[in-house]
Structure 1
Amino acid sequence: MSAAQTPTEEQEVVPTRGKPRRRSGRRGLAVTVVVGIVIAGGVGVVVFDPFGREKQDTTSETTTETALAKVTKGTLSARTLENGTLGFAGDYQVVNKADGTVTELPAVGKVIPQGKVLYRVDGKPVILLQGPYVPAYRDLSWGMEGNDVRQLNAALVALKYATKSQIDPASDYFGRQTYYALKELQEKVGAEETGELPLGQVVFLPPEEVRITKVNAVAGDKAAGGGAFMQASSTDRQVTVALNANQQADVAVGDKVTITLPNGKSTPGVVSSVGKVATKENDKTTVDVRIKPSNPKVTGELDQAPVQVAIVSDTVEDVLSVPVNALLATAGGGYAVEVVDPGGEHRLVAVKTGLFDDSAGQVEVTGGGLEVDQKIVVPSS
């Protein structure tokens, strides 16, 4: 029995019952095929074949241990449990445009913020700048326009080499202030202070800072312009789940999740994207679901670490609920719970089921006469 089902009263004897089909939420449950009926001091069990075979009456005494739980009121959430991989968001190719000999490269795992030296060719710095629009593809100088100029202006303002009143970060024009701000950046990193940006002096990548994940070149290599020197990710933490493609509709952007980390601790997160292109591997078709941890610091720095993800697909508040294994399937096709009155008398109360909270082992119920803290019979573990 789970923690959510731990008995709080003395144990009694009633039959063990199975888990019925869920009425609502995005997940389905198996149909219960064993029906328990309280008969005086014993228990009658009627077994139904879900495939239509003849039913059989097997009324008998049982010595299965039971316990008492209570009807509770509160919030329930429907969840699906999936295996995931904890790592860093993004996968970027660092393409070199400088000619010469590679003289300095970063180590795998090193974090480099924009405005700092990414690597060196012929001893000259190649600078990382944030650029979400286009990669570097030409020399830039006073009077030029374009998206590459726009991202240069935005980077110079973000790095405080100019104020917003001096350079509009959304401007795509290389003007006087761009010239002076660029000279300050070049001085800071030890490059020649020309106020012009030659092709190969900067690498534009979307994140504000990158984490090196792979280095393809070695010091001393000939740096032929256009080669992919290394790979990088952002420093944003991310969990990726390879979800069965037929479950894609069960998960949506914004769904809340609970991430269980390798150290056993849990932390919340939110679904940030659900893949639309399926991948087939070893007869399994999946889509990638990406999750952003709400508190990235507690996830540590492990890369490609296995985690478990409980995705919340539906939530109900202020509802009555009982442990799932308190449900009895009745001969008429519905469900009931076995209530124990204050005087010790046992009786069946018909209920309708709502949302199932698998992680808590609880199910939403409605039924005449059910009240908070009422005692009900559940199987003992």
Structure 2
Amino acid sequence: MLDFYLFPISYAFYTFPIAAALFTLPFLIVQYRRHGYIHKYRALILYLFLLYLMNAFYLIILPLPESIHNSPPKAESYAQWIPFHFVTDIVRETAVRLASPSTYIHLLKERAFLQVVFNVLLTVPFGMFMRHYFRTRWAVCLLCTLGLSLFFEITQVTGIYGIYDYPYRLFDVDDLMMNALGGMIGFVFAEWLGRWLPRIDKLDEHTNLSQKRVSYTQRGIAFLFDWAILLPPFAVLSVVHVPYSYVLIVVAYFIVLPYMTNGLTAGKWLVRIRLKGQGERISLRELTARYGLLYLLAGGANVAFIRSGVHAISPILMMLFALVLFIFNLAIAIHFLRCLFNRNRRLIYEEKSGTYHIITAKSEQARTTP
């Protein structure tokens, strides 16, 4: 019986790194947008919640039938609607006698009893997460637990939504009831456990965002989002042969737009950061110096190399250009790595322009849009 449960749990741990990788980018965006930074305890709880959900789901659906063309279950109905029917199953299958306490130990070996215990324990962590992290009331926790349980039951009785010809497990109203009980037990237990754990709603209470350093991860997400927006129009302008399309896009998006929004682009707005200069408002000179070095010089050299290949310049010039560009990019990469591992060092385009990133307050984000 124990192996029956250990098998799906092992699969959950094996596949957790993949799920965590897919979960990380949305998680970072939401956390940066909501809080302005990543709190390690908040991140730990959310990843544990993801791991729990994976374990619970695998425990419900595994093991799978050998073929999608499975045989119908040997049952008159695909659903069991009689509440507390598990009591009848336990009485029928167990060797326990009420008058003989020495036989009670046999309950721990009976499938019907262990199935009830499993259904209760399955959602105990869910109730704990709902109370401790999401700070829900008991009624909300109960409804969410029932919703989770109903999702599990529907997944089973539909053969994973039609993937299998027939259900390989049946819908059981007792499972809903026991799952709901487990969620409520977890909800109550979380109140006791919360005495020794940090309160989620108090984590940011003594955090001064103005003193927090903007991480390279936060900046990297802003960079990816900005260029995800810019690449389609850049491709269109290149196809229709608009002269200096790269320069036009860089100037419009990274110089003019931040000047109008006082340091914001769409990507920076998404993760709650903005550029700051030496004055109250960032200047055109500062923006031109920063993005002139970053995108017009460094980025422009790489774009020019690509275009030179398209226009088929002399092979000797192409090789020379490639060698110079390789040395140039290598120097930039080394400089970036040195700044990455030494927080006291600043990127050259930041140092020359006198600009840097700050985390914006929620009130400021509400007033300003990119």
Structure with higher Rg: it is: 1
User: TM-score, normalized by length of structure 1?
Assistant: 0.23
Going by fraction, where is helix more abundant, 1 or 2? 2
User: TM-score, normalized by length of structure 2?
Assistant: 0.23
